[in-house]
Structure formats: structure tokens, C-alpha cells
Amino acid sequence: MSSQAEERPTRTTDYTPSEWRLLVELPELVVIAATSAEADGMRRTVDEGMAGDRGIESGTHSDSPLVRKVAAELWTDDDTGTPQPTAVEFNDRAKGLADTLAKARRAATVLAAKAAPADARAYTEWVSRIAEVVCGAAKSGGFLGIGGESVSPAERRFLTSLSDALAGR
């Protein structure tokens, strides 16, 4: 038998405006944080940003009403239906990463208090998957495109920290 929380529909009115803004902004912040986790060239950063766009867009097909609503607020197409390439990193890498992780912890707290458990789980899995896709989108290190790692140690540390933050740790 499902609990009442499992059956509760997700409504944006369940959240204060600042809570909803946090849930909507976090996926984009995670894309920027994931691109910032490892310093690499503009081309790699663009590849990572485009992977982040695809990750965000994937939320529009989620089984979770919460994820679909958040993704719908974030996902916009241009006339060609292709996301615009972005190359965004934090100017202050350490501060940007720390702020993103703090917001992820706050989002976990909001979700635990207000979202149906299935929606909370779907949202955190979606955000984690976005980060994984971004971190794996371009090799770091190597020389002239030879060698390098799909996910660098710095990116792995970020992914672990994000997972902990989304779990409320």
C-alpha cells in the first residue's frame, strides 16, 4: 500500500517561490559546476555544456511530474531545435563548486520535506545523471587529443560530493 506522500501530486504551489527557484536553478548550476570541476579548454567546456543541455532536456521525458515541470522551465529550443553551445565555468572555481553543493543540500532538504518520495528520488537521480554526463563528455588531460581520462579525479570528487549533497550529507 502506498503512503499518502507517494500519492501526493507534485504541484509548484507546494513550494515557496524561493524553493521552486532553487529546484529549477540547480540543474543548470550543476552543469556549470561539472564543467568547472576540471580546468580544460574552451572546446571541451562547450562539449560539456552541450552534454548538460541534453541532460536537462532528458528531464522533459521523465516519469516524474516534478522533473518534467522543472525541465520544462529550463529547456528551450531555438528555431532549429538544437541547444545553443555554451561554454560556462565559474570564475572562482572553489566558491562556485561549494555554493552549488550547498544548494544541492538545500534542495535535498526541500525535497525531503515537500516532494513525494518518488519525485524526490527522480529529481536527485536526474541531477546526478546530468553531472555524470557532463563530466564524461570530454576527455581531460592527454596531449593533442591522445590519452586523457573520460572522467578526471577532480570530476570524480565533484560527482561524489554532489551525490553526498543530494543525499543530504
CA–CA separation, 68 and 158 (whole Å): 25
Domain map of the chain by residue range?
A: 12-139+149-166
User: How many whole angstroms from its chain centre is CA 9?
Assistant: 23
3-state secondary structure of 149: strand
Strand partners, 143: 146
Q: Which of 109, 148, 110, 101 is nearest to 128 (CA)?
A: 101
| Tens-place pLDDT, residues 98-133 | 999 999 999 999 999 999 999 999 999 999 999 999
Sign of CA dihedral 55, 61, 67, 72: positive
Q: Which of 30, 21, 103, 8 is nearest to 69 (CA)?
A: 21
| Tens-place pLDDT, residues 88-105 | 678 888 999 999 999 999
Contacts of 4 (CB under 8 A, 6+ apart): none
Contact present, 152 and 36 (Cβ < 8 Å): no
Going by pLDDT thresholds of 50, 70 and 90, the confidence category of residue 8 is: low
Residue 5 has pLDDT above 50, yes or no: no
Q: What's the one-letter identity of residue 121? A: R
Rg of the chain in Å (alpha carbons): 16
Terminal Cα distance for the chain, rounded:
29
